[in-house]
Amino acid sequence: MQSIPPATYQTDSPLELAFIDPARKLTKSRGKNIHRYASVKMNTIISVESTLEFDACFHFDFNNNISRFCSQPIRYSYVIDGIIRTYVPDFLCEFDCGEMVLYEVKAPNAVNSKRFTKEFEAKRQYARKLFDVDLELIEEHDIRHIPLLKNLKHMHRYASHSELTYEQTTILKYLNKHGSTKLETIIDHFSNSKNIIPMIYDLLSKYLINTDLRVLLNNQTELKTTYV
């Protein structure tokens, strides 16, 4: 008697598939500017449709609570005023806890209307109904907090996938021994080492040290390790 093959189940959700095969693949075309973000976290290129979305990527890339993110993730239908419409959110993020959240990025002049509020609420309700996830709005003032964004851009510039250098390991040992230390003290202590600032940004990008990124790095910046 021929044995019955074991049952197989489709376990991939639309949200999970979005990281592999997003709803929209953005390509350059006349009248449309596509921006390419080289993600440190995802080790791939994230394509977006605006400079504001591009800047949002820095926040996703260096948020230690976010394990992965993608753009143009899924397409779904929602109903407003009895009319069926389709919608593609700007981003999907998965957090370390396993929670997934959809995001819409908008400039201030795009959100100050009753029409937008009504449409966004409909999109939000259907995201919850269809996928059991939240759809959240991110505005320009959240993304372009200048000191924070500048720090994130420096972290992106100097982030490396290489192993730590001897100097970086020594800096970590020093901070682990002395606790919170001003940047100027580290610079003075390691005066024979070149490129201290790039090394610090790289350590920040790896979450091995931390500081208040809402303030631009300066000599008075307090740095400490993320472990004891």
Q: Which of 99, 117, 143 is the last residue of a domain?
A: 143
Instruction: Give pLDDT, residue 31.
Output: 60
* DSSP letter, residue 38: E
DSSP H or E run through 39: strand 35-39
**Mean pLDDT computed over 77-85:** 96
Same domain, 123 and 202: no
DSSP H or E run through 37: strand 35-39
Same domain, 87 and 137: yes
Contact 70, 49 (CB under 8 A): no
- Distance between CA atoms of residues 175 and 190, nearest Å: 12
Its sign, for the CA torsion 134, 137, 142, 143, is positive
DSSP H or E run through 134: strand 134-139
Cα–Cα distances in angstroms (integers) from residue 1 to residues 4, 5, 7, in the given order: 9, 12, 18
Same domain, 163 and 78: no
Closest CA to 72 of 42, 47, 40: 47
* DSSP letter, residue 54: H
Number of separate domains in the chain? 2
Q: Which of 111, 143, 175 is the last residue of a domain?
A: 143
Q: Does residue 196 fall inside a structural domain?
A: yes
Q: Does residue 4 fall inside a structural domain?
A: no
- We report the CATH number of the domain holding residue 168 as 1.10.10
- Please tell me the pTM assigned to this model: 0.90
Tell me the pLDDT of the chain averaged across its residues: 91
Q: Does residue 131 fall inside a structural domain?
A: yes
Q: Does residue 207 fall inside a structural domain?
A: yes
- We report the CATH number of the domain holding residue 120 as 3.40.1350.10
Same domain, 94 and 119: yes
Same domain, 128 and 191: no
Give the model confidence (pLDDT) of 93-151 as tens digits: 999 999 999 999 999 988 989 999 999 999 999 999 999 999 999 999 999 999 999 99
Give the model confidence (pLDDT) of 203-219 as tens digits: 999 999 999 999 999 99
Residue-range definition of the domain harbouring residue 30:
14-143
- Distance between CA atoms of residues 32 and 22, nearest Å: 19
Same domain, 108 and 155: no
Q: Does residue 198 fall inside a structural domain?
A: yes
**Mean pLDDT computed over 29-48:** 89
